[in-house]
Structure 1
Amino acid sequence: MNLKQLNIFHGKFFHLCLLAFGSGAIVMSMELIISRVLTPVFGSSTYTWGSLIGLILTGLSLGYFLGGKISDRDPTFRKICSVVFTAGLYIVFVPFIAPAILGFTLNDLPQNQFSSLFATFALVFFPTTLLGFVSPYVIKLGTVTLRQVGNVSGTLYSISTVGSIFGTFLTIFVLIPTLEVRIVLFGLGITLMIVSLLGLKNLPKILTIAVILILFTPSSSIVTGLMPHTGTVIVETETEYSHLDVVDSDNKRTLYLNGMRHSQMDKDNPNDLTLTYTKYFHLGQLFNSSLEKILFVGGGGFSGPKNFLDTYPNSFIDVVEIDSQVIDVAKTYFSLKDNSRLQIFNEDARTFLMNSDDKYDLIILDAFATDYVPFHLLTQEYFQILQDHLQPDGVVVSNMIGSLEGDTSNLPSSVYKTMTSLFPTVYVFTTAENNLNIVQNLIFVAINNNEQLTRVELENLSIQNNANNLLADTKYLENYHMSGMRTDSIPILTDNFSPVEIMINPVTSQPFFDEDSIFSQDESRIWFSESTSVKIGLLIAVVFTWLVFFKSTWKNTLN
């Protein structure tokens, strides 16, 4: 090989490396970003992540197989670049098609552990398969003799993997914290299109410029989110842990995390408790009249801590919240003000307690949601830590979501059994009604007292401890479930065995979305504005133009 041929080969090989690096980076980045589209609807469960990872791997495997076969038929750099361009164009469309796909999945398909498969398949399988073409194809193009196969394949696979690592860290530490999901998806698609221009002619370059102009002209605020909202969106962002929305509806401001309601505030009376279940937090006063030091596990919109600061003027309140952006949002949009009696800790609750020597009169657990429960905050070991941080007369009030009976009672029953393995008495209260099968907020109250009181005795105790007025807006006596919960064949949760993922929605036949959801059945469908329709029409015109070009590029190979 002469010097000129060597230079040409090195230049060509650099382009192959760039294509391998880019495709590897985009695959991993897309996987992480699409998870942010799926979790508000299907939850951050192992089923959601398993579907996403499984379909990504399936798409890549199919792509490797097809790419390897096609690369043996007249391989050219232009052809593989056209495949990458197609993948990028599809990804650009994802923010436009995601709302319709998710709405269809919610409204027209059965809600069970397989619910996320269809949506995940529609969003990621096609572009992932196309990007799977890249590795075998560039190895074919980069190999001059059989003697080079090992070196070339190892180098290109290594570069692709480095790209995946780069894409993972860039997405986690830069893209998700700073940009909206739709902008990231637009960026990923356009990046692929630009990289593919290394081997394409003038028309794809014109189409790439057209796509950029269509997406980022001033009216491109057409897709404010990947799911429609009920009410006026004040904030929509991605935090380190979840998709966060602040939505105003009438006089109520609501905080949603991953599409599920976590807190609500009356804008005229920001310290009032508006959600029924939060009013049951005052059961702490019922069982312990001396609430000098209180801990909230889970901050959300800080409705509970704000109300308790007003209600118990002599109490000191600690709040531990793992998501720093949730704390910032509470301060900015939920009237959370500095107070000498309030301390906020941005930590994992279990880590915080393990490093703390404080003891509390009341610990309120409100870090759980319909779709996700941190397993390490439900185990016997964790409740032992809570018990160690209680004063002798201390009380634990825990909010759970589920039912008293049926398949949606498995997790609450396990938590109840776990708590009763440590606390002599655990009271169970429903917050909606005493229907055994309805999914609702359940309140568990654990105390270090062997005496289980009747409804009449609880009523007398509430008068004695000045809790009757605080609980006046609740039906706690009617909703007191005196017999506790059935725990036959239900496991005690431990650090070694805590299968919470198979005990909560969406693994049951119950609908995933409920009254706490930011989406309702009638409002989960996508409605495009006139501006959106125009832009989609222009993008479709780009797609048809590209398909004509793509067909001519691959004509010889496909025949």
Structure 2
Amino acid sequence: MWYGAVVFVSSAFLLVLEIVAGRLLAPYVGVSLYTWTSIIGVILAGLSLGNWLGGLWADRGGDEQAVGLTLGLAGLFSLAILPLLTLVAPMIETRGLGLLSASFFYVLALFFIPGVLLGVITPLLTTIALRLDARAGHVVGRMHALAALGAILGTFITGFVLIQYVGTRNVIVGTGIGLLVLAAPFLLRARRAVPAALVAGLVLIASVGYARGALIDPCERESSYFCIRVVDEPSAFGPTRALVLDYLKHGANSSQHPALFVAPYVHLMDELVLHHFGRERAGDLNYFFAGGGAYTLPRGIRHLRPQAGITVAEIDPLVTRVAAEKLFVDTADMRILHEDARMALGRNDTRYDVVFGDAFHDISIPYHLVTREYNQLVKSRLTEHGIYILNVLDAFPNAELVKTMVNTLERDFAHVAVWMEFAPSEPTRMTYVISASDAHAPPEFIRPARQGGGQRGWLRVNEPLFQVGLPREQLPVLTDDFVPVERLVSGFFFDTLGN
């Protein structure tokens, strides 16, 4: 039973590291399908190699001391993840790697060796157990079952509890210490040099980690969804703070000017409403926001139009709390729904004049909020003259995702427009704004309709947008069954990180 318990716990620790890898790397490379593919693939590769090496070692006489040494090394390499990150991150950032390559090398450098070492444990202990019990099928089946159960426990407890209440770095340190404690009983009869070497390694890792500030957490708060920070922004309009989710600045709020929209695309989203309904009609509209984040636009609209109805679906309660505590947001007159935007829209029959889509997080795109089925849900919740407005990050000039989203929206809305403030002089990535309505065609050009709107202006760019890249007839329609957003923005993953 003791061997089975060790297999159970070591497998749990491996999955703890796998789940926590996504959160640890989020401030550096974000969270995407490709990031998780790198994490799962690299750790599985390490586990496979470890299983093979463990079997070889067992056949060559691997005993309890071998188990203790392996667990001890796994503990040390787990503790080394944080100091290594401080060394690896600058190297990767200065190499100009794309997101896909950067994600892979981060995981390879930090988690591959712990995966190998923990992979050694199960075949090694299974072989030792077979020396005590000749029922091969019984022993092997039990060990594999315990390994799977441990992995399940590690997955659930990390995702549902540890990251939220303990924090990523504390979880990694706890995993390393836990593995060292697990190794101790196996090393009671080992030569003194083995535990002495492990202690020396522990001291070295602790010293390097302390010197490098490895325990300094870039997150002020950690939730189930984001690494959350609030930073001060230089501004000529008084104290201004910005919300940073993972590695992306989500929005900036001025303490003295609630209606100051620093980001041009946020300003445009408000101006589209004014031009669609007119300034007089816009005062008492009913708004739905898919995503809250810094609450910049809901806060501004509440200030400009106190009679407006504002409903915000923000999936992360901690984001709302941080916005209220540090970003000058008063949510008292807003209806806040801490649930997925699609679920929030589907649960009630309220009709809205405006639906804003602001749930896209850089390249982390909620697939279910870009499909035709979701668009049809939005349309069913809009009033007769309502408008759907959303922003999305894509490449310029070949914006394949934006073009595909327009192609999908045109299946259900009569008038779909893409907007930008200006055309960049060279290829880059930028935030586009898309509007969709059945009421009337939008103008070709928009200037600020409200006083104090500044000298900004925005162009409708549908025609030039579709002149680049794939023609309209070759673009897919995004559905719940087929939504290849990573492929459509694949250039981001191969392009230079941070561009």
TM-score normalised by the chain length of structure 1: 0.80
2:83–2:205 Cα contact (<8 Å) kept: no
CA distance in 1, matches of 2:127, 2:303: 71
CA distance in 1, matches of 2:491, 2:242: 23
Deviation digits for residues 147-182 of structure 1, max 9, x if unmatched? Answer: 322212222222222221221122112210012211
Which residue in 2 is equivalent to 1:277?
265
2:456 corresponds to 1:474: yes
Give the counterpart of 1:362 among 348, 351, 354.
354
Structure 2 counterpart of 1:24, which letter? Answer: S
2:222 corresponds to 1:238: yes
2:110 corresponds to 1:123: yes
Which residue in 2 is equivalent to 1:495?
480
Q: CA deviation at 1:339?
A: 2.9
CA distance in 1, matches of 2:441, 2:258: 37
Q: CA deviation at 1:390?
A: 1.1
- For these two proteins, the number of residue pairs brought into alignment is 481
The structure with more radius of gyration? 1
Q: CA deviation at 1:416?
A: 1.2
CA distance in 1, matches of 2:220, 2:13: 24
Distance 1:210 1:133, change over 3 A: closer
1:88–1:190 Cα contact (<8 Å) kept: yes
Deviation digits for residues 104-137 of structure 1, max 9, x if unmatched? Answer: 2232153153332111111111111111111111
Structure 2 counterpart of 1:393, which letter? Answer: H
Give the gaps of 5 or more residues in structure 1.
1-12, 228-234, 515-559
CA distance in 1, matches of 2:290, 2:464: 24
Which residue in 2 is equivalent to 1:266?
254
Q: CA deviation at 1:438?
A: 3.0
CA distance in 2, matches of 1:118, 1:237: 26
Query: Aligned to 1:361, what secondary structure does the other structure show?
Result: strand
CA distance in 2, matches of 1:337, 1:505: 38
After superposition, residues 54-203 of structure 1 pair within 5 angstroms as: 54-111=41-98, 113-144=100-131, 147-201=134-188
2:339 corresponds to 1:339: no
Q: CA deviation at 1:54?
A: 1.0
CA distance in 1, matches of 2:80, 2:491: 28
Which residue in 2 is equivalent to 1:257?
245
Distance 1:432 1:326, change over 3 A: farther
Which residue in 1 is equivalent to 2:213?
222
Q: CA deviation at 1:483?
A: 2.2
Q: CA deviation at 1:188?
A: 0.5
Which residue in 2 is equivalent to 1:544?
none
1:402–1:440 Cα contact (<8 Å) kept: yes
After superposition, residues 369-408 of structure 1 pair within 5 angstroms as: 369-406=361-398
Q: Which moved more, 1:38-47 or 1:200-209?
A: 200-209
Q: CA deviation at 1:248?
A: 2.5
2:221–2:229 Cα contact (<8 Å) kept: yes
2:287 corresponds to 1:300: no
Distance 1:435 1:362, change over 3 A: farther
1:113–1:506 Cα contact (<8 Å) kept: no
TM-score normalised by the chain length of structure 2: 0.89
Query: Aligned to 2:105, what secondary structure does the other structure show?
Result: helix
Deviation digits for residues 447-488 of structure 1, max 9, x if unmatched? Answer: 213535343xx56xx7xxxx2436435222xx3325263134
Distance 1:69 1:224, change over 3 A: closer
CA distance in 2, matches of 1:143, 1:377: 53
CA distance in 2, matches of 1:348, 1:435: 37
Q: CA deviation at 1:271?
A: 5.0
Q: CA deviation at 1:237?
A: 2.6
2:287 corresponds to 1:287: no
Deviation digits for residues 177-216 of structure 1, max 9, x if unmatched? Answer: 0122111111101100110001114666675599489859
Distance 1:345 1:286, change over 3 A: same
Q: Which moved more, 1:203-212 or 1:59-68?
A: 203-212
Which residue in 2 is equivalent to 1:439?
429
Q: Which moved more, 1:505-514 or 1:82-91?
A: 505-514
Structure 2 counterpart of 1:50, which letter? Answer: T
CA distance in 1, matches of 2:210, 2:330: 37
Q: CA deviation at 1:100?
A: 2.6
CA distance in 2, matches of 1:490, 1:499: 11
Structure 2 counterpart of 1:421, which letter? Answer: R
Deviation digits for residues 48-103 of structure 1, max 9, x if unmatched? Answer: 11111111111111111111011112222011110110011011011111133233
Q: Which moved more, 1:135-144 or 1:207-216?
A: 207-216
Deviation digits for residues 335-378 of structure 1, max 9, x if unmatched? Answer: 222433x1111111111111111111111111112221101100
1:33–1:181 Cα contact (<8 Å) kept: yes
1:236–1:245 Cα contact (<8 Å) kept: yes
Structure 2 counterpart of 1:248, which letter? Answer: D
* Aligned residues: CA RMSD: 2.7
Query: Aligned to 1:40, what secondary structure does the other structure show?
Result: helix
Distance 1:277 1:84, change over 3 A: same
1:398–1:444 Cα contact (<8 Å) kept: yes
Q: Per chain length, whose mean CA-contact separation is higher, i.e. which structure has more relative contact order (CA < 8 Å, sep 6+)?
A: 1
Deviation digits for residues 302-343 of structure 1, max 9, x if unmatched? Answer: 111110001112211111111111111111111222433x11
Structure 1 counterpart of 2:273, which letter? Answer: G
Q: CA deviation at 1:387?
A: 1.0
Q: CA deviation at 1:281?
A: 1.7
2:389–2:436 Cα contact (<8 Å) kept: yes
1:428–1:484 Cα contact (<8 Å) kept: no
Give the gaps of 5 or more residues in structure 2.
467-471
CA distance in 1, matches of 2:296, 2:194: 53
Q: CA deviation at 1:19?
A: 2.0
2:241–2:254 Cα contact (<8 Å) kept: yes
1:320–1:348 Cα contact (<8 Å) kept: yes
1:398–1:445 Cα contact (<8 Å) kept: yes
Distance 1:284 1:195, change over 3 A: same
CA distance in 1, matches of 2:344, 2:108: 40
Which residue in 1 is equivalent to 2:307?
314
2:76–2:201 Cα contact (<8 Å) kept: no
Q: Which moved more, 1:488-497 or 1:203-212?
A: 203-212
CA distance in 1, matches of 2:493, 2:194: 47
Which residue in 2 is equivalent to 1:533?
none
Q: CA deviation at 1:440?
A: 1.0
Distance 1:122 1:338, change over 3 A: closer
